[in-house]
């Protein structure tokens, strides 16, 4: 499972999105997928089918490039996914305000090469808490799974995810003090 | 402006939310407000009136406590707000993928005691880029203003925001390895 890992980013992270509620969570689920892609995850598993998210990610990959083959995959049986993940010697980290504070737990997590980060929308089934290797709280106040995922990944990758290179982009941003500068690639 | 600052958190941060689109951005704006509250900001200014967000924050404060008087304020003229902020010796930081990478810019930002963080939804008016003291990119890939705000605050507060104490809560989480444990306060 770890043979194709980037030596600069030896930890491969995938995301499992649970509990999407129709309409209400459309934008939030899209943001979860966009953060997963932008912060260098390998894949997002969605327990709910939404072609718009697949289209959005495809469009982003076309316009803004890829740092690897980031994919959206529909998963019908997330319990099996979690179980097989653990069997294959990967960590399962569930982000929840009820867990152990990130500040306390991150130094103690025995990071394996393949992490599955589980983020819920509304209520997450109880069994997720017991199936996860780690229940990690990005603070103990209610806020946002988008924020929780982003902060977890930023800490895990120690900020280097913001410098990742995305290849084969049609558009590349030229960082600017003020304004919007973009270079367009001929392909 | 700085006399009532918490000595442990000498930097006061407020958030300005621009460009909310009806329905489409409802949940995202709510998440921006929740992150602002949970990560210890002082106030969120919204350039759009939505009583549901005010009600949600009020409900959170009642149930989960306050670390200070976090407020939602409707702002009709955000240009005046930004101008007066700068006159009163505060920083204005605009989060945008077109700005300078956070990894590069945060060590160089001359942090003042009062920061206004500007986050947009869809297209942000050009003048925001020139009015801001700093245009900061949480990476140069499109993702989420909720994620951008959370990562910026986590870096700014060096992670301490996750340990903040919220007072007068009806419910307090007892951090748990697995499961949901809450203590209820009699009041």
In terms of C-beta density within 10 A (0-12 exposed, 13-18 middle, 19 or more buried), how is residue B106 classed?
A: middle
Question: Tokens at residue A43, please?
Answer: 């894949």
| 3 state SS for B58-109 | HHHHHHHCECCCCEEEECCCHHHHHHHHHHCCCEEEEEEEEEEEHHHHHHHC
Which sign, positive or negative, has the C-alpha torsion B110, B114, B120, B124?
Answer: negative
pLDDT in tens, B120-149: 987 899 999 999 999 999 999 999 999 999
- Is ipTM beyond 0.85? yes
- For B115, other C-beta atoms within 10 Å of its C-beta total 24
pLDDT attached to residue B180? 93
| Cα A41-A72-A57 angle, rounded to 5 deg | 85
pLDDT in tens, A130-155: 999 999 999 999 999 999 999 999 99
- For B6, other C-beta atoms within 10 Å of its C-beta total 13
First to last CA, chain B: 33
pLDDT attached to residue A107? 85
Output the CA–CA distances (angstroms, integers) from residue B176 to A99, A105, A128, in the order listed. 5, 11, 13
- CA-based nearest distance A4→chain B, Å: 23
Which residues is A117 bridged to in the sheet?
A: A15, A93
Please list every residue in chain B whose beta carbon sits closer than 8 Å to the beta carbon of residue A103: 159, 162-163
Which residues is B72 bridged to in the sheet?
A: B44
Question: Tokens at residue A82, please?
Answer: 């979690």
pLDDT in tens, A170-185: 999 999 999 999 999 8
Q: Is residue A21's pLDDT more than 80?
A: no
Contact indicator for A183, A172 with CB cutoff of 8 Å: yes
- CA-based nearest distance B115→chain A, Å: 18
Look at B175 and A137 and tell me if their CB atoms are within 8 Å. Answer: yes
Please list every residue in chain A whose beta carbon sits closer than 8 Å to the beta carbon of residue B150: 138, 143-144, 146-148, 150-151
Nearest to B142 among A64, A97, A139 (CB): A64
Please list every residue in chain A whose beta carbon sits closer than 8 Å to the beta carbon of residue B62: none
């Amino acid at each position: 499972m770890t043979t194709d890992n980037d030596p600069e980013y030896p930890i491969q992270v995938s995301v499992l999105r649970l509990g999407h509620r129709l309409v209400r969570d459309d934008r939030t689920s899209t943001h979860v997928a966009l953060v997963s892609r932008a912060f260098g995850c390998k894949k997002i598993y969605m327990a709910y089918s939404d072609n718009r998210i697949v289209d959005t990610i495809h469009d982003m990959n076309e316009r803004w490039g890829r740092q690897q083959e980031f994919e959206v995959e529909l998963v019908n049986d997330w319990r099996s996914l979690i179980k097989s993940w653990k069997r294959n010697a990967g960590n399962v980290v569930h982000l929840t305000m009820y867990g152990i504070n990130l500040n306390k737990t991150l130094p103690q997590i025995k990071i394996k090469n393949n992490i599955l980060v589980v983020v819920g929308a509304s209520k997450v089934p109880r069994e997720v808490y017991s199936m996860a290797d780690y229940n990690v709280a990005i603070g103990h106040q209610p806020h946002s799974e988008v924020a929780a995922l982003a902060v977890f990944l930023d800490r895990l990758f120690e900020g280097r995810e913001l410098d990742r290179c995305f290849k084969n982009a049609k558009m590349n941003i030229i960082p600017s003090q003020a304004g919007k500068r973009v270079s367009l690639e001929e392909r």
